[in-house]
Amino acid sequence: MQLNLLVAVVLCVLPVALVIALIYRKRNEQREYSRAPFNDLQRRPAGETLRLKLQSLDEKINDEILWLIMFPVSMALGLFFLHPKDWITPFLFFLFSAGSSVFFGLRLFKLLRTRANYRLGYDGERFVGEELSRLIGLGFEIYHDVPFDGFNIDHVLVGPRGVFIVETKTRRKPVNESGKKEFKVQFDGKNLQWPWGVDSHGIEQAKNNAKTLSGWLSSATGKTVWVTPILTLPGWMIELKTITDDLFVLNPKQIYHVCASQSETLPEAQIRQICHQLDQKCRLAVD
């Protein structure tokens, strides 16, 4: 009887295994005998680093879901085939099933929470990228997700009105007791005053990124390149308590007007040199 059940289980699983093997084989054949018509993208898209992190997380989440389901199913099949006569064996199987469910469930929960944060950041960078596209009409070249050693710069703007980096920080809005979303943040020149408290999240990062890009471009082009940092907070209304010369803190919709208000000081020849360096740095290989 048990042998017949085992054969039936194997026969049920066999078609799935064959289909998976066939898909894997066809996929490898397609990769072997065909290639994309181009080798790389001229510009990295907005949020590319976060997109890759989301892709990696999705693979881990799928694995955790598989493990979460597999252990209880294995315990159930084991009891089905063993037909234990005592109560101890089912109880032990239950403990193994409950323990594995808690263990893999907690791991899955942490991965899903991390993914939600990455997804929020990814959507924020894409939202800002769409807003920045308006600057093309002012002669700006726009670069997204510019890679450096161990980090990336979210957005770089290059045009007659100067070079800017844009650091995007996307944060959820809290809901107050009346059920309305809090949407205002104040900048005092050093810190950000959020509805839940004060921090300087993103301020030093934006300044440091501007210094890094300035040093790299100055070295690469042989001419001093000044870079202005912008910290942007999608979806938040910014109240400025003071005006600073070394950093702009803006809603994405304000970036166009701030850039447009700058005087044209960067010559065309230097713009071409800067863009050439960024073009080489921002190429993205295509699989």
Tens digit of each residue's pLDDT (9 = 90 or more) over 125-142: 999 999 999 999 999 999
Of 202, 261, 269, nearest in space to 229 by CA: 202
Cα angle value 58/62/66 (rounded, 5°): 170
Q: Does residue 210 fall inside a structural domain?
A: yes
Phi-psi region of 178 (alpha: psi -120 to 50; beta: other; left: phi over 0): alpha
Query: pLDDT (tens digit, 9 = 90+) per residue, 69-108?
Result: 888 888 777 777 777 778 888 888 888 888 888 998 999 9
Domains: count for the chain: 1
Cα(28)–Cα(94) distance, integer angstroms: 41
Query: Is 112 inside a domain boundary?
Result: no
11 to 4, 7, 16, 72, 279: CA distances (angstroms): 11, 6, 10, 21, 55
Reported as a single tens digit per residue, the pLDDT across 219-244 is 999 999 999 999 999 999 999 888 88
Question: At 177, is the pLDDT very low, low, confident or very high (cuts 50, 70, 90)?
Answer: low
Residue 229 lies in a domain: yes
pLDDT at 214 over 90: yes
Rg, C-alpha atoms of the chain: 27
Q: How much of the chain, in percent, has pLDDT values that exceed 70? A: 89
User: Residue 57: its pLDDT value, please?
Assistant: 94
At 18, which amino acid appears? L
Alpha carbon distance 76, 67 (integer Å): 14
Short-list 66, 67, 64, 63, CA closest to 108? 64
Q: How open is the CA angle 158-117-126, to the nearest 5 degrees?
A: 30
The tokens for 114 are 């991390």
Range of the domain at 156: 130-175+182-285
CA 99 to chain centre: 32
Query: Residues with Cβ < 8 Å from 197, sequence gap 6 or more?
Result: none
Of the candidates 151, 152, 263, the residue with the CA atom closest to the CA atom of residue 143: 152
Q: Is residue 264 a part of any domain in this protein?
A: yes
